Amino acid sequence: MYRKRQLLCDGVDLTALAEEQGTPLYVYSADQILHRFSLFADAFTQPHTVCYSVKANSALAILRLLAEQGAGFDIVSGGELERVRRASKAALKRVVFSGVGKQVWEIDAALKAEILIFNVESEAELALLAERAEALGKQARFALRVNPDVFADTHPYISTGLREHKFGIDIGLARAIYRKAARSRWLDPAGVSVHIGSQIRAVEPFAAALERVLALIGELKRDGLDIRYVDVGGGLGIEYGAAAFDPAEQVKSYAAALTAASGLHLLLEPGRFIVAQAGGLLTRVLYVKKNGAKTFVITDAGMNDLIRPSLYQAHHEILPVRQGTATEQVVDVVGPVCESGDFFARDRKLPKVKPGELMVLLDAGAYGMSLSSNYNTRVRPAEVLVEGSAARLIRRRETMKDLFVAEILD
């Protein structure tokens, strides 16, 4: 929102914030995050737990904000488990542990933390889980993550629900594995899980995957197993472009597509949907230059700070922080990193900007900072959480010293 031609994040003036904290800077709205989270409670009437997917944005302050609202968490590593522990010990019992390559130390840490459930992705992992559960004297609740062989229209790098993907266990083989596992006193076959991919905007693929999962659960129940949980994964998409988008309606139709799961406790693992549109990346224009017919706007943020455009050809809207005159120009917005793939927008019509001016890359709250790196030996951005009209620094900018702490010279 602009006030007096200056862009605000809730009650905070972004020009003043950039002066104070420097750029590039990730800025998140706590109100937006909480609002998105609350949409799930409004739309889902059956017993459910929203297990926010930590990988989307794993800032401790954001995890704590969500934990205070009763959120659970979807984790994929021992590191993410440690994040949840630091943000909220009470939330550990609402953790689901996904991932195709869990290691012994990660399984042990999760067993000791008494998490809610393991989403197991192979027979070998299940055998290891049983072994570690016995060694630690802790029974492990688990769900097999089944691969439903359902197509969802999204970028190929983030589609997961087809047989040719590395994720999950062929749904046709799952029943036999459950029956075998049920004989172990260290394993509690408590659920079935599925995740078909990310940034999926149509709700039909979720319904199709659930239908297959419920058919399996019916069989497992007939086999005498006490299946209580159905985990439908994450993946609910948003609108990155300028098109109108009603998040409340989106969650409502998602909930409507999942009503068949009644009678079971539903686990949901949204990541992007909760945090993407609550965050922006604030950056300053360093140079504007012309090469041939092209005009390049060079920003102080680069692909190491926000890799989505480079990696997935993702579109992020870009706004100037100071609302200028109406003159527009077709430009490429690029970062300082030494790769031609380091771009935020190509041939985009944008209001004219000059060096020193600020811009915001919108919808960068998910898979922005969490996918950032130190490529080109660049320090990663600071992060700020806006709470009403107050801005709280939740991660300081890295320093040159931070970049070298792990290196050994002699």
Residues 78, 103 contacting (CB under 8 angstroms): yes
Minimal distance in Å, beta carbon 97 to ligand LLP?
10
What Cα–Cα distance (Å) separates residue 230 from each residue in 94, 143, 170?
14, 8, 17
Phi, psi of 293 (to 5 degrees): -85, -5
Q: Judged by CB under 6 A, does residue 308 bind ligand LLP?
A: yes
Considering the complex, state which of residue 24 and residue 365 has its C-beta at the smaller distance from ligand LLP.
365
Q: Which of 1, 338, 406, 408 is catalytic?
A: 338
Minimal distance in Å, beta carbon 241 to ligand LLP?
15
Cα dihedral 250, 308, 28, 85, rounded to 10, equals 90
Q: Identify the residue among 58, 147, 184, 199 touching ligand LLP (CB under 6 A).
A: 199
Q: Judged by CB under 6 A, does residue 195 bind ligand LLP?
A: yes
Q: Judged by CB under 6 A, does residue 310 bind ligand LLP?
A: no
Residues 211, 209: Cα–Cα separation, whole Å: 5
Catalytic site includes residue 9: no
Q: Which of residues 146-175 bind ligand LLP (CB under 6 A)?
A: 158
Go through 150-163 and write b for each residue having 16 or more CB atoms within 10 A of its CB, e for each that does not.
Answer: bebebeeebbbbbe
Residues 154, 237 contacting (CB under 8 angstroms): yes
Residues 42, 248 contacting (CB under 8 angstroms): yes
Part in contact with ligand LLP (CB under 6 A); list of ranges 11-19, 64-72, 264-272, 348-356: 264-272
Considering the complex, state which of residue 188 and residue 269 has its C-beta at the smaller distance from ligand LLP.
269
Instruction: Show the binding pattern over residues 51-90: x = contacts ligand LLP (CB under 6 A), - = does not.
Output: --x--x-----------------x----------------
Residues 342, 337: Cα–Cα separation, whole Å: 6
Q: Identify the residue among 148, 233, 309, 335 touching ligand LLP (CB under 6 A).
A: 233
Q: Judged by CB under 6 A, does residue 100 bind ligand LLP?
A: no
Residues 147, 171 contacting (CB under 8 angstroms): yes
Give the footprint of ligand LLP on this chain (CB under 6 A). 53, 56, 74, 98, 158, 195, 198-199, 233-236, 269-273, 308, 312, 366-367, 371
Active site residues: 338
